[in-house]
């Protein structure tokens, strides 16, 4: 029988082909559909997969460059590629999207991204829930937490994304009983609140 590569030549940047493969050849690669949303942050999936591998190696995300990224094919990072902050935020958003129940108002299935994450140029006031993460700047990346009518600011720079995520977890644990919408972030759910315990 002919292989997948013979019928569907895969090239970097081809999520449409991967999506088609996942629906037509799912018996051969059943989990690819689960991975596709993680690749949507960039049209250059080859760079993205390479960079995620670099960020995952070692300890404490040592190669993390919040306002840029890594070398790719002996070339320096450029603004055509996502920053490491964008990659990490997208992976976290996608992970949470996969665990929150689908909302019929958002048929694309990105419940966390559409309800709890606001990204410039969209204004902070357009948040759909009582609280949301807000990316107020793309270059350099800067994140804030929106709670009610307040903007909770943390320091700028390398740790801004991580500090904002920790602040969100703290808020959810203390003010929302550890719940992100209907999903428990405590030990009986996604077990993410241990990060701040």
H-type alpha helices, 30-83: 32-35, 45-56
Residues near 157 by beta carbon (within 8 Å), at least 6 away in sequence: 66
The predicted structure's pLDDT at residue 2: 40
- What pTM was estimated for this model as a whole? 0.84
Percent of the chain scored above 70 by pLDDT?
85
pLDDT in tens, 166-186: 999 999 999 999 999 999 999
In this predicted structure, the answer to whether residue 3 has a pLDDT above a threshold of 90 is no
Q: What is the pLDDT of the chain when averaged over all its residues?
A: 86
pLDDT in tens, 97-154: 999 998 888 778 899 999 999 998 888 877 788 999 999 999 999 999 999 999 999 9
Average pLDDT over residues 55-81: 92
The predicted structure's pLDDT at residue 9: 44
Q: What distance in Å separates the CA atoms of residue 140 and residue 142, rounded to the nearest whole number?
A: 6
The predicted structure's pLDDT at residue 4: 41
The predicted structure's pLDDT at residue 26: 57
H-type alpha helices, the chain: 4-7, 15-24, 32-35, 45-56, 84-99, 111-116, 160-175
The predicted structure's pLDDT at residue 79: 94
């Amino acid at each position: 029988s002919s292989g997948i590569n013979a019928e569907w030549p895969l090239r970097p940047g081809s999520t449409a082909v991967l999506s088609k493969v996942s629906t037509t050849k799912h018996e051969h690669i059943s989990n690819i559909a689960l991975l596709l949303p993680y690749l949507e942050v960039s049209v250059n999936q080859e760079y993205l997969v390479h960079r995620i591998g670099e960020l995952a190696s070692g300890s404490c995300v040592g190669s993390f460059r919040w306002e840029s990224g890594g070398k790719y094919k002996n070339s320096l990072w450029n603004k055509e590629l996502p920053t490491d902050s964008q990659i990490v935020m997208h992976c976290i958003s996608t992970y949470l999207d996969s665990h929150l129940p689908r909302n019929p108002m958002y048929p694309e299935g990105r419940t966390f991204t559409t309800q709890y994450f606001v990204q410039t140029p969209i204004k902070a006031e357009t948040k759909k829930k009582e609280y949301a993460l807000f990316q107020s700047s793309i270059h350099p990346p800067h994140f804030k937490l929106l709670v009610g009518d307040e903007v909770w600011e943390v320091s700028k720079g390398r740790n801004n994304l991580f500090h904002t995520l920790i602040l969100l977890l703290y808020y959810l644990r203390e003010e929302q009983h550890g719940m992100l919408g209907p999903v428990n972030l405590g030990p009986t759910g996604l077990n993410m609140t241990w990060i701040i315990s």
